[in-house]
Amino acid sequence: MHNPVVVARQTLAGISNGMLLFLISAGLSLIFGVLRILNFAHGALFMLGALIAVSLAAVLPAAAGSFVVVLAGAAAGAALLGTVIETGLLRRIYRAPHEMQLLLTFALVLMLGDAAKLIWGRDEQSVAMPALLTGSAHALGVSFPLYRLFLIAAGAAVAVGLWLVLHRSRWGIFIRAATMDRDMLSALGVNTRTLFTSVFALGAALAGLGGALAAPIVAVGPGLHVQVLIDAFAVVVIGGLGSVSGAFLASLLVGLVNAFGVLAFPGLAVVLTFLCMAIVLIVRPRGLLGTVE
């Protein structure tokens, strides 16, 4: 614990895991903020991204450019499915009681989980890392896997891109306005129907991208989506529902708590995540940066 090499390594590991958490929780948070739907199927969209990555990586040649195609394909595939889900199902229940909304996204979890088993089988699969990103970087006596550094860079790039979209584009301004008062936004003449669809597709794309980025370092198999959703849920609750910056902060926090929790209390790191969540819920129920309520 007091060894600076260990501290540096765990910090980097925590941040890189945090970046993956951010990709999935940013979408979950945005979707709740705008659509007011808690999307249990978000973990399934993440898993779908990973599985698309598995299939694409199997058919594409092992070149550096292929990995970019794999990432784009996973994000696009998840966005497409997200669009179908929003227009085909979710749109019908925005005014239904909460239990109906929860049940519908839970039904999606069941259907997508089994559909994934039907299409990709029950075995755990993995994606080979692009050759360019295998190996380790060395600095100041610490060696660190290149792919993890790439994850940090990719996560940071998405975070900056998302911030620019939300704060500098017309679409982003509408999205932020919708998290504050969607009825007012609608009254001002904004087409909230297409806005909802696009937000769900954006969230799905982020989850799919996260899944594809995680595919080389996790075992992609049945049940992945159940675990991923809980982590993302914890992040969203800690960060504050509807807040992308909150999701970013909480992702880093949870990533780091897990990375150091493993050292301090081996085997109990998962408990720490939920303990963090419980404390935040009790002390500051709307989350670190939450505004929605």
Partner 1 sequence: MNHAAPLAAGLALVALPLVLPDFWMFIGVEVLAFALYAVSFNLLLGYGGMLSFGHAAFFGAGGYAAALVAAQRSLPLPLMLVLVPAAAMLTAGAAAVLIGLFSVRRAGIYFAMLTFAFQMLLYTIALKATSLTGGDDGLTGLKLPGAIGRPVGYYYFALALTAAGLYVLHRLVHSPFGATLRALRANALRVQYLGVDVRAHRLAAFVASGAFSGLAGALFALSSGNVFPGWLNWTASATPVVMAVLGGTATFFGPALGAAVYVVLEVVISGHTEYWPLTMGVVITILVLLAPGGLTGLWKTGFGRARASRAVPLSTGEAR
- Of 102, 142, 165, 190, the one binding partner 1 by CB under 8 A: 102
Q: Per CB under 8 A, does 113 bind partner 1? A: yes
What DSSP designation does 131 have?
G
Residue 288 contacts partner 1 per CB under 8 A: no
Using CB atoms within 10 Å of the CB of residue 256, give its burial: 0 to 12 exposed, 13 to 18 middle, 19+ buried.
Answer: middle
Q: Is 114 in the site for partner 1 (CB under 8 A)?
A: yes
58 CB neighbour count, 10 Å cutoff = 11
Applying CB under 8 A, which part among 45-53, 92-100, 139-147, 213-221 lies near partner 1? 92-100
Closest CB to partner 1 among residues 145, 287: 287
Question: Residue 168 interacts with partner 1 (CB under 8 A)?
Answer: no
Among 51, 234, 254, 259, binds partner 1 (CB under 8 A): 234
Question: And the tokens for 219?
Answer: 């075992």
Q: Where are the alpha helices (DSSP H) in the chain?
A: 4-35, 42-59, 64-88, 98-120, 146-168, 170-180, 182-187, 192-214, 224-239, 244-264, 269-283
For 215, other C-beta atoms within 10 Å of its C-beta total: 28
Site residues for partner 1, 120-159, by CB under 8 A, read: none
Q: Name 166's Cβ contacts closer than 8 Å, sequence gap at least 6.
A: 172, 173, 175, 176, 244
Q: Which amino acid is at 82?
A: G
Q: Is 118 in the site for partner 1 (CB under 8 A)?
A: yes
* CA–CA separation, 142 and 140 (whole Å): 6
Is 281 a residue that touches partner 1 (CB under 8 A)?
yes
Measured CA to CA in angstroms, residue 250 lies from 245, 277, 282 at distances of 9, 10, 16
The smaller minimum CB distance to partner 1, of residues 174 and 233, is found at 233
Task: Tell me the helix, strand and coil percentages in the chain, rounded to 5.
Answer: 75, 5, 20
Cα–chain center distance at 256: 17
Is 98 one of the binding residues for partner 1 (CB under 8 A)? Answer: yes
Of the pair 101, 198, the CB lying nearest partner 1 is at 101
Choosing from 5, 64, 271, 284, the residue that interacts with partner 1 (CB under 8 A) is 271
Nearest distance in Å: CB 29, partner 1? 12
Q: Which is nearer to partner 1, 11 or 83 (CB)?
A: 83
By CB under 8 A, name the binding residues for partner 1: 36, 38, 89, 92-93, 95-100, 102-104, 106-111, 113-115, 117-118, 226, 229-230, 233-234, 237, 267-268, 270-271, 273-275, 277-278, 281-282, 285, 293
